[in-house]
Amino acid sequence: MSISFVLPLCLFVVFLAVSGAAAKPTPAASQARPAGVKGDGVKDDTAAIQKALNAASKTGGVVCLPAGKYLVKGSLTIPPGVSLKGIGQAPQFDPPMLGSIIHAVGGRDKEDGPSLFELGDSSSVIGLTVFYPEQKIIDVRPYPYTFHLKGMDNTVQNITLVNAYNAIRVGPEPNARHRIKSVYGCALRRGIYVDYCVDIGKIEDVHFHCHWFQSKDVGGDPRMAYDYMWKNFEAFIFGRSDWQYVTNTFVFPAKVGYRFIATEHGSMNGQLSGAAADATQNAVVVEQVQPMGILITNGQFVVSNGDNQVELTVQPTCTGSVRLVNCAFWGSAKHNVVSHSAGFLSLSSCYFSSWRQTDSPTTLIEADAGRLQLTNCTFGTDQPSVLLKKGMKHAVVTHNNGNTGVGIVNEIGDLAVISGNEERK
């Protein structure tokens, strides 16, 4: 046997030995149910799970919950360096309710109480389904947030929410680098609320939908869940957050899809890519952002509920920059965009339209304050395109086209730069 053949063979054997050793579960990641935890949906497992979490905190480690139904009547605190992990490798639809399922019954009618999961520094919850068995769509009751993240570097991943009232809160305590990834399901009042994040939080692949609370087996109903959410649900709410990253997120339906606010800690700057909101009253509402503002790319925004259907509203309190690129607006909108902004609004390479049929059509884009840039956009339906109202400081409207051209009403005279648009037919 040649040396050239022996050497690769030896390396291959060593590789198999090392790989086999690495595949063996360590005690910290054992799949055994923790001592005293029943997982039968009858005995309260709160204390036993917490005891296992506290024990793991001595060195850091994983507390595993195999398939079962874990009744939790209280709140669970995930210590630093500890992960609470179910068997879920990805979110799942609720029927037939398999896997590691938390049956949460604590906090009913106590919205400001402790969250089901309290996460501090370097802690995580992964691979669980959360179900509130006493929450019924015929009588929706408030509950605390399912997850509360504070401190640095905590993670919520591969979670299914069947019928949460409030889903995930980050802050208002100082925090940084949260990771919220692959969370699917139904929440009824608030989805994700972020505040006082001082360094680069990340939200990725989050999907809120009434589907998860439509089965009678979980106390739901498709029509009632839909109606409750579009009247009450705010999916993504951002207060103070520095360099926030939001990627591939969706909600159906909602009162508000994405809301940007000012809190005592400040407001947000960051970027949203692949943001989508369907069957909303208002898809995006901007009350305040930081001066450098928010960047929204590849968004899809649809309204179809309520009396004042507007996809994007920028309030007069907003002094920062709001910039959207390659976004589409449709549905039965009264307006696609209404801007009262005291700052900057930029719309580039976007598609605007409305299915609304009326004898008195409203303008797709209206602005009465601040500064507007509207360029390289398409107007897909026949409503008047743009209204530049008195009170604006400046506007640039260039190189747009439309199904019947671009109709522009200019009330600000030379403060508007208008050129290169397809003539209105």
Write down the pLDDT at residue 94. 75
Burial of 210: CB neighbours in 10 Å, binned 0-12, 13-18, 19+: buried
Evaluate whether 396 touches 375 at the Cβ level (below 8 Å). Answer: yes
- From 2.160.20.10, 2.60.40.1150, 3.20.20.10, 3.40.710.10, which CATH number describes the 27-210 domain? 2.160.20.10
Distance of alpha carbon 406 from alpha carbon 43, whole angstroms? 66
pLDDT of residue 28: 42
Alpha-carbon distance of 157 to 63, in angstroms, equals 15
Cβ–Cβ < 8 Å for 230, 256:
no
Architecture of domain 233-425: 3 Solenoid (2.160)
Assigned token pair, 378:
């398409």
Residue 61 gets the label, from left (phi > 0), alpha (psi -120 to 50) or beta, of left
By the 8 A CB rule, do 99 and 131 touch? no
Q: Give every CB contact of residue 156 below 8 A, 6+ residues apart in sequence.
A: 117, 119, 124, 125, 126, 147, 149, 168, 178, 179, 180, 181, 183
Evaluate whether 27-210 and 233-425 have a shared fold: yes
Determine the pLDDT at residue 31: 67
User: Three-class SS of residue 90?
Assistant: coil
Q: Where are the alpha helices (DSSP H) in 3-146?
A: 3-23, 46-56
Per-residue pLDDT at 3 = 45
**Quick one: how far is CA 68 from the chain centroid?**
28
Query: So what's the pLDDT on residue 425?
Result: 86
Q: How far is residue 421's CA from residue 90's CA, in Å, rounded to a whole number?
A: 47
Give the tokens for residue 90: 């990805």
- Is residue 129 a contact partner of residue 160, using CB atoms and an 8 Å limit? yes
Distance of CA 302 to the CA centre of its chain: 16
pLDDT given for residue 356 in this prediction = 87
- At residue 14, the pLDDT reads 37
Q: Is 287 helix (H, G, I), strand (E, B) or coil?
A: coil
Check: CB of residue 411 under 8 Å from CB of residue 394.
no
In angstroms, rounded to a whole number, what is the distance separating the alpha carbons of residues 134 and 147? 18
Facing residues of 330 across strands?
Answer: 302
For residues 210 and 140, the answer to whether their CB atoms sit within 8 Å is no
Q: How many CA atoms lie within 13 A of 106 on its CB side?
A: 19
Query: Which amino acid appears at position 20 of this protein?
Result: G
Q: What's the CA gap between 293 and 297, in Å, rounded?
A: 13
Q: How many other C-beta atoms can be found within 10 angstroms of the C-beta atom of residue 264?
A: 9
Domain ranges for the chain, please list them.
Answer: 27-210, 233-425
- Whole-model pTM above 0.85? yes
Amino acid letter at 329?
Answer: F
Asked if 259 contacts 289 with a C-beta cutoff of 8 angstroms, the reply is: no
The per-residue pLDDT string of the chain (425 residues; one tens digit each, 9 = 90 and over) reads 444 434 444 344 333 344 444 445 444 444 679 999 999 999 999 999 999 999 999 999 999 999 999 999 999 999 999 999 999 999 999 777 899 999 999 999 999 999 999 999 999 999 999 999 999 999 999 999 999 999 999 999 999 999 999 999 999 999 999 999 999 999 999 999 999 999 999 999 999 999 999 999 999 999 999 999 999 999 999 999 999 999 999 999 999 999 999 999 999 999 999 999 999 999 999 999 999 999 999 999 999 999 999 999 999 999 999 999 999 999 999 999 999 999 999 999 999 999 987 777 899 999 999 999 999 999 999 999 999 999 999 999 999 999 999 999 999 999 999 999 999 98
- Taking the C-alpha atoms of residue 31 and residue 64, their distance in angstroms, rounded to an integer, is 6
* Those residues with Cβ within 8 angstroms of residue 209's Cβ, 6 or more apart along the chain or in another chain: 184, 185, 186, 250, 251, 252
Q: What is the pLDDT of residue 374?
A: 98
**Helix (H) and strand (E) counts in the chain:** 3, 33
At 360 the pLDDT is 76
User: Distance (Å, rounded) from C-alpha 82 to C-alpha 338?
Assistant: 46
Q: CA-to-CA distance for 271 and 199, rounded, in angstroms?
A: 13
With 0-12 / 13-18 / 19 or more C-beta atoms within 10 angstroms meaning exposed / middle / buried, residue 182 is buried
What distance in Å separates the CA atoms of residue 97 and residue 191, rounded to the nearest whole number?
21
| Helix, strand or coil, per DSSP, at residue 375 | strand
Nearest Cα to Cα of residue 284 among 339, 206, 210: 339
DSSP helix/strand/coil, 33: coil
Q: What is the DSSP string of 313-348?
A: EE-TT--SEEEEES-EEEES-SEEEEE--SSEEEEE
Tokens coding 258: 């994405």
